[in-house]
Amino acid sequence: MKLHRVCPRGAYVHIPFCRRRCFYCDFPVSVVGDRKSGENSGTIAEYVEVLIEEIEATPRSPHPLETVFFGGGTPSLLTAAQIDRLLTVLDRQFGIASDAEISAEMDPGTFDRAKLSGYARSGVNRVSLGVQAFEDDLLKLCGRSHDAEDIFTAVENIRHVGIPNFSLDLISGLPHQSLEQWRRALDRAIAISPNHLSCYDLVVEPVTPFGRFYKPGDRPLPDDDLTAQMYRLAAEMLSRAGYEHYEVSNYAKKGFQCRHNRLYWENQPYYGFGMGATSYVGDRRCSRPRTRKEYYEWVARYKASGGAIDEPPTSTEDRLLETLMLGFRLSDGVNLLEIRESFGAEAVVAIVETLQVYDKNNWIEGLDRSGAIGERRSLPARVRLTDPEGFLFSNTILASLFESLTVESR
Ligand code: SF4
């Protein structure tokens, strides 16, 4: 955790198009079908123009961007020329540091070597590949638009083009998924040897097809015990394979943590552009509308106002809660010395008192200034959730912290 900065150093750009909608997804996306992409699609071309208007209407900042993240949706539905234009506009508006991390989420089956080489020439140096599962029946059951073979072709293409840094996304807790299947998925991911892996536990959102087909906890969804076993298995296998479990759902080889996502977890400011994107600039969080029509209207108003964000600043109490909620996701945990400096000694006392009960379960641990596990009797410099048990119960721990800190401030 670093002390809160004022100027954003990262930009998130949302590309809200997918070939199909996966059965578990409730993100703000538009389905364009299997044949439409990039400049072939009038809808995508129009969206890119509005996105550029939004970026150009945003007040400049004195610091160049250190991270850019194209998320989605499926950013790899954009042509290399469209990605290049967006990066050129971002660079003109804010500057992009020469060693910036520039990531793009991509789905297998939506890019070939030529497109990827074009992305790389424009500066994309990190790929986050949406794999989710390696078995065709699981992929089909999730409504994914690719099969297992597409995954291996995508990885081959990334390697061939020489993009040095890539991550795979996997999902555990899928319907009908057994512990053995999850073990095989992890084995396959480890054999591919990406620098980074994200392992998400399926969340069944009510408004999705999965929300209509399945009830959380009921078969064919794995029960809580099985999902906890899957979580522990990932932590064990991936740490044995040399990955650091640096965030609740994220693993990285040394030096390959996602710099952009760390901005969120460290509660630092960032730009957000595009439909449904959130920005955090000047202590104001702003969520853009989640439909294209409303987003286009929002951009028109934003331009007319000279890039003004009409949201109240985050209150000190909310900033503290957000700092804890996000900071405890990281294996670095929360720096109590910085909490004291930003929010006062009472906040530290309330945090330590609330966490004491979890210390007995070994769900939390205190670290001294050098980062070593501290003496239980002394006040730690930093406190974090243990891996994997503390991470597994993070929701319970955070709920207690919220309760005690909001009661405290009443
Ligand atoms: S590819 Fe990603 S964003 Fe698109 S529908 Fe599937 S899960 Fe949602």
Alpha carbon distances (Å) from 49 to 39, 79, 119, 309: 12, 14, 19, 21
Task: Note the pLDDT of residue 375.
Answer: 62
Give 158 Cα–ligand 1 centroid separation in angstroms.
Answer: 20
Please tell me which residue, 379 or 309, carries the higher pLDDT value: 309
Contacts of 382 (CB under 8 A, 6+ apart): 332, 333, 334, 335, 336, 337, 366, 367, 371
Q: What pLDDT is stored for residue 118 in this prediction?
A: 98
pLDDT of residue 164: 84
**Mean pLDDT for all residues in the chain:** 93
| 221 pLDDT above the threshold of 90 | yes
Going by alpha carbons, the residue nearest to atom 3 of ligand 1 is: 73
pLDDT tens per residue, range 172-189: 999 999 999 999 999 999
**Mutate which of 19, 27, 208 for ligand 1 pocket (most atoms within 8 A of beta carbon):** 27
Mutation probe of ligand 1 site: the residue of 17, 19, 20, 22 with most atoms within 8 A of C-beta: 22
Q: Which of 137-146, 273-282, 298-307, 366-375 bottoms out in mean pLDDT, i.e. has the lowest? A: 366-375
User: pLDDT grade, residue 378 (50/70/90)?
Assistant: low
Burial class (CB in 10 A: 0-12, 13-18, 19+), 107: buried
For 162, how many CA atoms within 13 A lie in the half-sphere containing its CB?
4
Which atom of ligand 1 has the smallest separation from the CA of 31?
5
State the pLDDT at residue 380: 83
Model confidence at 215, pLDDT cuts 50, 70, 90, reads: confident
Percent of the chain with pLDDT over 90: 84
Q: Which of 99-108, 215-224, 279-288 has the lowest mean pLDDT?
A: 215-224
Structure confidence at residue 210 as a pLDDT band (50, 70, 90): very high
Res 408 pLDDT > 70: no
* pLDDT range class, residue 34, cuts 50, 70, 90: confident
Confidence category of residue 381, pLDDT binned at 50, 70, 90? confident
How many angstroms does the Cα of residue 382 sit away from the middle of ligand 1?
Answer: 37
State whether the beta carbon of 202 lies less than 6 angstroms from ligand 1. Answer: no
Q: Ligand 1 pocket, 200 CB below 6 A? A: no
User: Residue 325 — very low, low, confident or very high, per pLDDT cuts 50/70/90?
Assistant: very high
Could you identify the atom of ligand 1 that is nearest to the CA of residue 72?
3
- Ligand 1 closest atom vs CA 132: 7
Report the pLDDT value the prediction gives residue 388, as an integer from 0 to 100: 96
- Mean predicted confidence (pLDDT) in 313-333: 94
- In short, whether 74's Cβ falls inside 6 Å of ligand 1 is yes
Q: What is the whole-number distance in angstroms between the Cα of residue 111 and the centre of ligand 1?
A: 16
Position 374 scores a pLDDT of 65
CB 107 less than 6 A from any atom of ligand 1: yes
The answer, yes or no, to whether residue 204 has pLDDT greater than 90, is: yes
Q: Would you state the structure tokens that stand for residue 335, as one six-digit string?
A: 């720096």
Q: What is the pLDDT of residue 379?
A: 74
Please state the rounded mean pLDDT for residues 389-409.
87
Residue 198, pLDDT > 90, answer yes
Residue range 58-69, pLDDT digits in tens: 999 889 999 999
> CB atoms < 10 A from the CB of 295, how many?
24
| Residue 5 predicted with pLDDT over 70 | no
Res. 409 pLDDT band, cuts 50 70 90: low
The reported pLDDT for the residue numbered 280 is 96
Ligand 1 center from residue 14 Cα (angstroms):
12
Average pLDDT over every residue of 357-375: 81
Residue with tokens 């990190």: 126
| Mean of pLDDT values over 128-139 | 97
